[in-house]
Structure 1
Amino acid sequence: MFQIVWILIIGLILGVLARMLLRGPQAIPLWLTVVLGAVGALLGNAVAGWIGVRHTSGIDWIRHLLQIGFAVVLVGVISPAWSRRKVSR
């Protein structure tokens, strides 16, 4: 249960950072920001493990940069698609 809370906190932090790094408005809700940040963290961890920099002594700067990078890409790709979707009620 506590791991889910950490995933949500990290997703929120990475999603908000990604939105701050991108230019212009991102018309996505907060819950989608958290989800995209969490997915960015997951992808960043996977790539960091693949290239062998997931666990280092000290702060894992490369892993964190990969996480932020994936979150930025996801928010950058999903935000325009989200704003173009048609809402049918």
Structure 2
Amino acid sequence: MDVTSLIVFLLVGAIAGFLAGQIVRGYGFGLVGNIVVGIVGALLAGFILPRVGLVIGGGIVGAIIYALIGAIILLVLIGLLRKAA
């Protein structure tokens, strides 16, 4: 992975994490937290969505949508775990 790919990966994670924070909770976790939520969400979506038959086209917009869906799932799970504790 070169520097450009890493920057794009972090940028997609930050955008997806920020948007998921706005949708689910109304706020984000800060820049680093948003990047982490977006990246973990993208990994989660990359694992779950193809298994249920949802495939989104390529490109940066597709990557952001994938990461956003995964980040929303992740934030909902975190919210459920916080309520259970």
Instruction: Report TM bin, short chain.
Output: 0.5 to 0.7
User: In structure 1, what is the equivalent of residue 36 of structure 2?
Assistant: 35
C-alpha separation between the residues in 1 aligned to 2:70 and 2:22? 14
Q: Tell me: CA distance 1:54–1:9, structure 2 relative to 1, closer, same or farther (3 Å).
A: same
Structure 1, unaligned runs of 5 or more:
82-89
Instruction: Name structure 2 gaps, 5 residues minimum.
Output: none
Using the TM superposition, give the Cα deviation of residue 75 of structure 1 relative to its aligned residue in structure 2, in angstroms: 3.2
CA distance in structure 2 between the aligned counterparts of 1:64 and 1:6, rounded to whole angstroms: 10
Label 1:64 to 1:48 Cα distance change in 2 as closer, same or farther (>3 A). farther
More helix as a share of residues? 2
TM-score, with length taken from structure 1: 0.58
Q: How does 1:32-71 map to 2 (within 5 A)?
A: 32-51=33-52, 53-54=54-55, 66-71=66-71
Return the offset for 1:67: 3.1
Contact 2:12 2:63 in 1 (8 A): no
Kindly tell me the number of residue pairs found equivalent between the two proteins: 79
Amino acid at match of 1:32: G
* Offset from partner CA, 1:7-39 (integer Å, 9 cap, x none): 10100110011011013445x222011111011
Could you tell me how far apart the structure 2 residues matched to 1:76 and 1:16 are?
A: 14
Q: CA RMSD in A?
A: 3.6
